[in-house]
Amino acid sequence: MGKDISHRFDRKVRRRAPKSEDVYLRLLVKLYRFLARRTNSKFNKIIMKRLFMPRVHRPPLPCPRYLSWPTSPPAAGKIITVVGTVTDDNRFYEVPKMTAGGEVITFDVLARRSPLGKNTVLIQGRRKAREAYKMFGRAPGLPGSHTKPLVRSKGASSSVPVEEGPAVVTRNSFLINSYNLKLCFPCSMCISNQDCSTLVTRLGCTTLDS
């Protein structure tokens, strides 16, 4: 009698290649895939894994975050490495000059300078800085919940003021005005005009003709 093998977890759900068709990104992936395979460096494996990641998991890094690293003891004199976008911050007025010995290099240059990732510091942006993360977690209103409520309504019940306009007849033949809702039935949908008037009287609605 054979064994009943569970195949629920056979498929490994993780990226093995980037989704992007960018030629330069795929060349970097090819380079660091070779370095991760032929060297025993954990740095190259992390770089290869982060090159596969989507933009949600590669958040941008503002300049005040990485400009304070060169003077800190763990990263003094080391190469700061970021897999992602480095953005400017208008609130940060003092930026170190490039003429003081600093430079910006790409990963292909870094692979020639430090194939094993020595003398480098790998940092990244805050992944939970997105607005969507404020709405994740325990349901809003429950005890101990700090989750932001997801409000899609922009009508009269919300804080956004709504101006009262003229009556509008929509595609579905609904007559909407500022105070009440009146259903309009075209007479072609009814069997006869007598049935239409009877239905309108029972529902308390008005027709387009009235």
Residue 61 lies in a domain: yes
Residue 128 lies in a domain: no
Residue 203 lies in a domain: no
Residue 74 lies in a domain: yes
Q: pLDDT 10s digit of each residue in the chain, 210 long? A: 789 999 998 998 999 999 999 999 999 999 999 999 999 999 999 999 999 999 999 999 988 877 777 677 777 788 889 999 988 888 877 777 666 677 889 999 999 999 999 999 999 999 999 999 999 999 999 999 999 998 877 666 555 555 556 655 555 544 444 344 344 444 444 444 555 555 445 545 554 454
182: Cα within 13 Å, side-chain hemisphere: 19
CA–CA distance, 188 with 33 (Å, rounded to integer): 69
CA–CA distance, 65 with 125 (Å, rounded to integer): 8
Residue 58 lies in a domain: yes
Closest to 118 measured CA to CA, from 71, 70, 77, 165: 77
Residue 100 lies in a domain: yes
Say which DSSP state 143 is in.
T
Say whether pTM exceeds 0.85.
Answer: no
Residue 144 lies in a domain: no
Q: Helix 42-52 to helix 23-38 angle, to the nearest 10 degrees? A: 150
| Whether the Cβ atoms of residue 125 and residue 61 lie closer than 8 Å to each other | yes
The domain of 110 spans: 23-123
CATH of the domain at 84: 3.100.10.10
How many domains would you assign to the chain? 1
Closest to 48 measured CA to CA, from 117, 109, 103, 119: 117
CA–CA distance, 83 with 61 (Å, rounded to integer): 9
